[in-house]
Structure 1
Amino acid sequence: MSFTRASGLLLHPTSLPSRYGIGDLGQMAYRFVDFLGETKQQLWQILPLGPTGHGNSPYMCYSAMAGNPWLISLDSLVEQGLLEKSELADAPDFPADRVDYDRVIAYKGERLRQAAQKFQATASSEFEQFCQAQAFWLEDYSLFMALKEANDGLSWSEWDTAIAKREPEALATWRDKLADAIFLQKFLQFEFCRQWFALKAYANERHIQIIGDMPIYVAHDSADVWAFPENFMIDPETLRPSEMAGVPPDYFSETGQLWGNPTYNWEVLEETQFDWWLKRIKTSLAYVDQIRIDHFRGFESYWAVPAGEETAMNGTWVEAPGVALFERVEAVLGKLPFLAEDLGIITPEVEALRDQFGFPGMKILQFAFGSDHRNPYLPFNCDRNFVIYTGTHDNDTTVGWYTTANDYEKQRLAAFVGGFAPESVHWTMMRLALSSIANLAIIPLQDLLGLGGEARMNTPGLAEGNWQWRFAEDALTPTLRQQFTALTELYGRATHQWS
C-alpha cells in the first residue's frame, strides 16, 4: 500500500496500560487502535517485536524472527480457558508509569508456564501446523531458549563446547532432555503469533498499517548466531565476535556507540544468495505491513570494531553489498515496503542506495534548529519521499528537548513559526511535522501527550533504565482526540482524505 499523505503514532506495545506490569496484546492494544482510527491515523509504528535480552532492549533480542512472550495477554489466556481468573487475582501492584521488568518476568513467566501445561494436554492441529510452518527458525529458537534456561542464563558461547558448537549427538541428547522446556517455548511463540496477528488484522480492517522495526544486526547471544555462526564474524575458538558493530562518535556519543553485536560475514551470505536474510525479511513482513530498517547506512558500509576494543572509536568503514542484497530480496519477494533510517553520518553513496530502491528516508525535527537554513532536517528542505518525526525513540520527548535546548535553537524555532507559547511546544512541532511536504509523518505518543523527559523511551549509550515508559489509561481524552483529528484533517493526512 502506498500513501499520498498519511500520519500516525509511534508507540511500542510495552508502553500500553495493563494491570500486569507491561503493555500487552489485550484490550488496551485494541483501544489504542480504536484511538488511531478515531483520529484518522493510518500508521502505527512500533519497535522490534523480538524476545528481549540484556537491558530489555528490543534491539538486542534472542531471535530475529521470534516474538516477545511478555507481550502475551494473560486475560486472553483466561478467555481461552488456559488460565483461571482466580490465578490472576493476586497480580502485584505494578507501577503504572513504567515497566519493572524483573517483577513482570517473574510474575508473567509463572502464569505462562501454567497456561502451557494446560495447553499441552490438548495441543491442537493448528499448533502442529504452526510448528511445521515456522520450523526453519522455531526449532533452533525453542532449543536455544531451553538450553539458556538450563545453563542459568549464560551466553551460548559459555555452554559446554559440544552443544555450543552444535555437535549432532549433543543436539539430539538435549532435545530429548529438554522436551518440556522446548514445548513451552513453542507454545509461547504460537500464542504470541495468534494474539499479534489478530490485533494486526483488527488494525488493517480499520485501514491502519503497522510499521515494524528491523535492527540491522542481531545479538551475539541469540539463536540466529548460535544456529548460523558462519553468517557472522565469530572467532571459531572463543565463539565470541571477532568483529563488532557500532557507529563512530556522533550526535549521541563522543566515543561512538559500541553495540557488541557481531558484524556479518557478507562473503558467506552472498554465497548462499542471502538465504538467511530472505527468510528473516519474509518472516518480518508477515508480522508488519512496512519495515523501518534501523541503521540503514550499514548496508552500504558499516563501522567494524576489532574484538577487544572498549569503545567504538577505533573502528573502520567496510563496504557492504547492499545493492546485491536488495536486488535479490526484491527479485524473490517483490517491491519492498521499507523505510530507511538514514540518520547519522550519511554519504552520497548511502543516499544513492536508498534512492535506487525508492526507500523513504527519515527527517527529525529536533535536529532542525541547530544551524542555518541549509539544515537538511528543516521542513522546507524535506522531499516528499520521507517520513518526518518530531523525534524518535532515541530522542528526548519534544518537551524534554525544548527544556534542555540552547538559546539559539529556541530562537530559531520561534523565528521559524512566528512565535509560540513554550508550554505548547509539542503542538508547534507536531504542526510542523504534519504540515510538511513529507508523505508520512509520525508522532511519538509522548509528544501528543505533551510529556517531559521523564517519559523518554531510550537514551543511547545508557545501559540501564531504558524501554520502561508506559502511558496512563485515561491519557487519551476526548479533547485530545478532537485536537489531533482536527490537525490531521487540516494538513491532508486523514484516512481516505485523498481517495
Structure 2
Amino acid sequence: MTTIHFYLRFRSTYGQTFFVSGNIPELGNGDPQQPMPIHYLNDDLWHHSIDVADDTPAFTYKYILRNSDGYESIEWPTDRSIDVAKLKSPEIQVIDQWNYAGEFENAFYTQPFTQTLFEYAGEKVKAGSSKGVNHIFKVKAPLLGKDETICLLGSDAALGSWNEADCVVMRKEGNWYTAGLNLSKAQFPIAYKYGVYNTASKQFVRYEDGSNRMLYGMVKKQLVMLHDGFAALPNNTFKGAGVAIPVFSLRSENGLGVGEFTDIPQLADWCKQVGMKLVQLLPLNDTSATGTWTDSYPYAAISAFALHPQYINLEKVAGKKHSALLKGLDEAKARLNAQQDIDYEAVMQLKWQYLKDLYEAQKDSWQNDAAYQEYFAQNKHWLEPYAAFCYLRDKYNTTEFHTWKTHSSYDAKNVAKLLSPKAKSYDAVAIHLFVQWHLHLQLKAAVDYAHAQGLIVKGDIPIGIYRHSCDAWTQPELYNMDAQAGAPPDDFAVKGQNWGFPTYNWQRMQADGFAWWKQRFEQMSLYFDAFRIDHILGFFRIWSIPMDAVEGILGRFVPCLPVHIDEFAQKGIWFDYNRYCQPFINEQLVNEWFGDKAEWVKETFLEDIGWGSFRMKDAFATQRKVEAWFTEHFEVEEWIKLKLYDCISNVILIEEPGSNGTQFHFRIGMEGTSSYQWLNEHVRRQLSELYVNYFFRRQNDFWRQQAMQKLPALKASTNMLICGEDLGMVPDCVPGVMKDLGFLSLEIQRMPKDPTKQFFHPGDAPYLSVVTPSTHDMSTVRGWWEESRETTQRFYNEQLGQWGEAPFYCEPWINRAIITQHVYSPAMWSIFQLQDLLGSSAELRRTDPHAERINVPANPKHYWRYRMHLTLSELQSASTFNTDIHGLLQSSGRCA
C-alpha cells in the first residue's frame, strides 16, 4: 500500500471546512456529493491521508471549500494528478495551494486559449533524469511569451544557490511546469522562487513577484510533490478584440440572400486582417416551426441541438458530381442577393426545393460514409427524435405536437419505426439527417478555418426552449409547460418581455445530473470555443409569466420567497384582497385612459360594481382573452387593446398559487401604477418598504443558493470559456457567483449596473469581462444617438469629455471615439457589432442607421432580417478602414 498525505495551504477563517474529491474510491469516485473531509491543522494548513494500492494509476483530485453559511466554492480546473504506480514511493506528501476558480489565470486554461490562441508553452525543454528524485515542483504560468518557460531558483545548491546562471529550467506537462530534484542533502528550510527563462537565448529573464516561497524539511523515503499554484507573474496582460454578427447577416457576392456557414471563412480572413481574435455569433439552431418569416427569431429553436437549414450552402452539398441539379439557382441567387434584407420565406423555400433533389440523388450512398456513421452514433440521442419531429411537423402542418393525430406523446420505439428503411416515412425522415450532416460538415470546416487563422468562435446559448419544440416533445418533464419565461421591464421594454418559452424544471434536471445541459454543451463544443449564456440571471431565478398573460409585466420571479399576509398586519396595513390583487379601475381612470372611447369601453369590456368602480367582464378578465377578441375584431384600434392590458395589470399584488390567500408577490413597478397612487400616504409608505425588501433584500441568499445548485455542475462539464449576459434587474448575489466561477461578465456603456449612474465607462470594467457599446437587442451607437437628445448631450459632455452642444447625428469621429474607449478598456475582451465599427467610417457607414438594428426586444413579432449593406469582399478591400481598425487594436495591445 501507498500512503498519500494531502496538505492544503489556505488561510482559513472560523466556520470554514474543506473536502477533497477525486476519481478514485478513496476520494469519493469523483462524486461532488461524496467528498472526503480534511482536517484543520492550523489557520494556514489542512490535512488528510489515504492509503491506496501500489499499482493505482494516475488520478485527479480537487478541493471543495464550504463556508459557515453552507456556500461552497469548488476548485477549477481539475488538473492536479498523482500517478502512484509511476512514482513508486511508499509515502507521498502532496503540498497543494488552493486554486480559486475565479482567479484570472484559470480563464487561460479554457478551450480557446489552450487550443487556438496560445500555441507555445515551453515544450522545447527536455525531461531530466528522474533517478533519485524526492521532490517534484509544479507551478502554472499561462501567459508566457514565445520561447519562454519557467525556472526555479533557491537557497540550496540543488536550486542554484540563487545564481541565475544555474537556475533549474522546468518543462511543460499538461497545464504545469514541473521539475524533479533530489534534496536529500539539502539544508532546510529552503527559500525558493520561480522565474522566467528564455529557451532561445538560454538566459534568465526575471523572478516572479512577491516574497520567497518556503519549504520545510522532509521525511526519509517520502516523496514530496508541490503543486504551487500560479507563478506570481502579471495575470491580466492578454487582451483581445472581436466582432459580433449573426451568420444570417453576412453578405457575399455569391450568396443566396442570406449568410451561410461557408461565408464564415471570409469573415475570419477579415478579422485576421484587422487584428481581431474572436467571432461572436447568435444561436444557429433550427427554428423552422411555422414555415413563415416568424421563424426568423433565432432564440425559438425547435431543437437545442439541430442546426438551421438556412445556413447550408447548396453548391457544397451538390459537389461537382451533382452540380447539374442546381439548374436555375444562379438566377434566383442574383434576385435574392440583390435585396437589402433577408426574404426568409423565399430563401427557405428555395433551399428546400434543391435539398430534396440533392437528397434523392444521394440517398443511396451518403449514409455509407464512415465519418457520417461516427457522427450519427455520437448524435443519435437528438438526431433521430429531431428528424421524426420534422417529419411529423410537415405531416400535420404544425409543431404543436399535442394536436398531432399520432405520436403526440413521444415514444422512442414508435419513432424508431419511422426511421426504418422499410417504412413509407423513411425518406421524409432521413432527409433531415442528410441536411444536418451537411450542415455539420460546413460549420465544422468553417470553424476549423477560423482556428487556423488564430481566431476563436463564440456561440450563444438561449436561456429557454421553444414551447412547441422537439426538446419539449421528447422530455416534457424537464420543463414547466404551464408557465411562460420572459424578463421584467427595463428601459428597452417597459412592459417586460414575454418570450413564451416554458420555464425549466430545475429539480428534475438536477435529478439526472443536468444530463440535457451537458449534452447541449458537448454539442456546442464541436463548433465553439466560448459561449454566451443568454440571460444568465435565469439560473438564479426566472421571470415567470402566467399563461393567461400577454405582457411580461404580470410576471414574477420563480423561485422567490413570497410575502406572508401577516407581514402586512405587522406594517399596520389592513389587508384588502380585492383592492390589492384585483385590477383597480374607476370612473376617472377610464375617462383618462380612453377619452372619447370611454363609454364604449365601459359597455363592451367592463362591469360596473358600484361606487364609481369597475371590473373586467369575465369574457375579458385576462390579457389572453382580450387578445383573442381583438384578433377577431381587427378593425378596432390597437391602442385600445394595449390600454385594456394596462387595466388588467393595474394591480399591487399577485397571489402565490396554492397559498389559499396567505402568500403574495409584488407586481413589479408597483409604485408606478395608479392603483398604488390612489392609496393613502401611510399605506403607500408601508407597502414601499415591503416592496424594497421583497425585491432587493430577502431573496439574495436564496437566489445565490439556487444558482450554486446548477452553475458549478454545468461549468464542470465543459472547458469552453463561459460568458454571462448579466443585464437587467441584477440581484446583488450575481457578481459574486460569477466571480467565484470565473465567468466573464458583460459590460455595456449605456446599461450601467450601478443604479446611481446613467452610463458605464469601459475604463472601469473588471478584467474578466466583455465590453461592448451595443448588442443585437439594442440600437447601434448611431441609432441610439438619435433616440434622446438630452441623453446624448449628457453622454457627449460627461463620457466623451467634449464641450458645447453635441452634434445632432452621430458623426464618424464620435463612433470612433466610443470604439477607442472600448479597445483601451482593461477588460479581457472588447467585442463590437460590425455596424458600430462601420459607423466610424464616413465612406462605409450605412445611410440610415435605423436600418442597422437586428432586433427590437419589446416586439415579440420582430422580423430578424438584417444584412450587411456591403459584401465581405468589399469589406476586405476597404484598405483605409481596415488599416485604421488594425492600428487602433495594435496600439491598445489587442492584437500582436
TM-score by length of 2: 0.52
Alpha-carbon contact 1:17-1:96 (below 8 Å) kept: no
Q: How does 1:62-101 map to 2 (within 5 A)?
A: 62-79=302-319, 81-84=321-324, 86-91=327-332, 93-94=335-336, 95-101=338-344
Q: Deviations over 1:208-231 (max 9, x none)?
A: 000100001111111111111110
1:454 maps to which residue? 851
Shift of 1:57: 1.0
Give the Å deviation of 1:74: 1.8
| Pairing partner for 2:345 from 102, 111, 114 | 102
- In 2, distance between residues paired with 1:418 and 1:118? 64
Deviation, 1:198, is 0.5
Say whether 1:225 aligns with 2:622: no
- Measured in 1, the distance between the counterparts of 2:540 and 2:454 equals 34
What is the CA–CA distance in structure 2 between the aligned matches of 1:416 and 1:441, rounded to whole Å? 18
1:366–1:401 contact (8 Å) kept in structure 2: no
**258 and 371 in structure 1: CA distance in 2 versus 1, 3 angstrom threshold:** closer
Equivalent residue, structure 2, for 1:492? 893
Q: What are the superposed Cα offsets for residues 343-386 of structure 1, whole Å, 9 maximum, x if unpaired? A: 001011222221120101011123359987x4572223321111
Give the Cα–Cα distance (whole angstroms) in 1 for the partners of residues 879 and 755 of structure 2: 38
Name the CA distance, whole Å, in 1 between partners of 2:714 and 2:733.
Answer: 20
Aligned residues of 2:750 and 2:759 also touching (Cα < 8 A): no
Does the alignment pair 1:271 with 2:511? yes
How far has the Cα of 1:170 moved from its partner? 4.7
Higher strand share: 2
Greater Cα shift, 206-215 or 323-332: 323-332
Equivalent residue pairs, number? 484
Task: Name the residue aligned to 1:193.
Answer: 440
Q: Secondary structure at the match of 1:384?
A: coil
Contact 1:55-1:464 within 8 A present in 2 as well:
no
Deviations 1:141-168 (A, max 9, x none): 11111111111134222212x4111246
**Does 2:452 match 1:205?**
yes
Q: Could you list the per-position Cα deviations for residues 109-149 of structure 1 after superposition, in whole angstroms to 9, with x for gaps in the alignment?
A: 11111222222121123222221121011111111111111
Q: 2:480 aligned with 1:244, yes or no?
A: no
Residue 242 of structure 2 aligns to a residue in which SS?
Answer: strand
Instruction: Specify the alignment match of 1:238 in structure 2.
Output: none
Instruction: Verify the 8 A CA contact 1:43 1:211 in the aligned structure 2.
Output: yes
Which of 155, 161, 171 aligns to 2:400? It is 155
1:261–1:80 CA distance, 2 compared to 1 (3 A): farther
Instruction: Flag the 1:350–1:369 CA change in 2: closer, same or farther, 3 A.
Output: closer
Taking only the aligned residue pairs, the percentage that are identical comes to: 25
Distance 2:283 2:766 in 1: 27
1:171 paired with 2:421, answer no
Aligned equivalents of 1:164 and 1:391: distance in 2?
42
Higher helix share: 1
Q: Which entry has the higher C-alpha Rg, 1 or 2?
A: 2
Matched residue, 2:552: 312
1:29 corresponds in structure 2 to: 264
User: Mind listing any 5+ residue stretches in structure 2 that lack a counterpart?
Assistant: 1-111, 114-236, 289-293, 560-702, 840-845
| Corresponding residue of 1:237 | none
Deviations 1:448-492 (A, max 9, x none): 111411111111122344321111212441122111101111111
Equivalent pair of 2:749/2:759 in contact (CA under 8 Å): no
Matched, 1:427 2:816: yes
Match for 2:363 among 120, 143, 148? 120
1:51 Cα deviation from its structure 2 partner: 0.8
Distance in 1 of aligned mates of 2:525 and 2:723: 13
In 2, Cα distance between equivalents of 1:114 and 1:456:
36
Letter paired with 1:326: L
Offset at residue 169 of structure 1 (A): 6.7
Native 8 Å contact 1:69 1:192 kept in 2: yes
Q: Give the equivalent residue in structure 2 for 1:350.
A: 734
Match of 2:431 in 1: 184
* Distance in 1 of aligned mates of 2:815 and 2:435: 39
In structure 1, the residue matched to 2:789 is 406
Residues 129, 360 of structure 1: alpha-carbon distance in 2 compared, 3 angstrom cutoff: same
State how far apart, in whole Å, the 1-side matches of 2:489 and 2:886 are. 40
CA separation in 2, counterparts of 1:369 and 1:267?
A: 30
**Aligned pair 1:387/2:775, yes or no?**
no
User: Is 1:328 paired with 2:563?
Assistant: no
Out of 35, 40, 50, the position equivalent to 2:275 is 40
In structure 2, the CA distance between the partners of 1:112 and 1:268, relative to structure 1 (3 Å rule), is same
Q: CA RMSD in A?
A: 2.2
Alpha-carbon contact 1:290-1:338 (below 8 Å) kept? yes
CA distance in 1, matches of 2:310, 2:407: 27
Q: Distance in 2 between matches of 1:83 and 1:246?
A: 46
Query: What amino acid maps onto 2:443 in structure 1?
Result: W
Report the Cα distance in structure 1 between the residues aligned to 2:438 and 2:544, rounded to whole angstroms: 38
Matched, 1:59 2:443: no
Alignment partners' CA distance in 1, 2:273 and 2:302? 36
Q: Which segment drifts farther, 143-152 or 69-78? A: 69-78
Instruction: Kindly indicate whether structure 1 or structure 2 has the higher relative contact order, using CA contacts under 8 Å at least 6 residues apart.
Output: 1
Partners of 2:238 and 2:758 in 1: CA distance: 25
After superposition, the C-alpha distances for 1:72-103 in whole angstroms (9 at most, x for unaligned) are: 11232243534335352331511432110011
Over 3 Å counting, the alpha-carbon distance change for 1:438 and 1:206 in structure 2 is same
SS of 1:448's equivalent in the other structure is: helix
- Between 1:316-325 and 1:32-41, the stretch displaced more is 316-325
Amino acid at match of 2:866: W
The one-letter code of the counterpart of 2:248 is T
Summarize deviations over 1:7-66 as a string: whole Å, max 9, x none: 01001111111431111122x432211000011100000000101244411111111111
**Structure 2: how far apart are the matches of 1:249 and 1:369?**
15
**3-state DSSP class of the match of 1:363?**
strand
In structure 2, relative to structure 1, the CA distance for the partners of 1:423 and 1:330 (3 Å cut) is closer
Q: Secondary structure at the match of 2:300?
A: coil
Inter-partner Cα distance in structure 2 for 1:371 and 1:352: 18
> Conserved in 2, the CA contact under 8 Å of 1:369 and 1:378?
no
Q: What is the CA–CA distance in structure 1 between the aligned matches of 2:364 and 2:412, rounded to whole Å?
A: 30
Q: Does 1:132 align with 2:366?
A: no
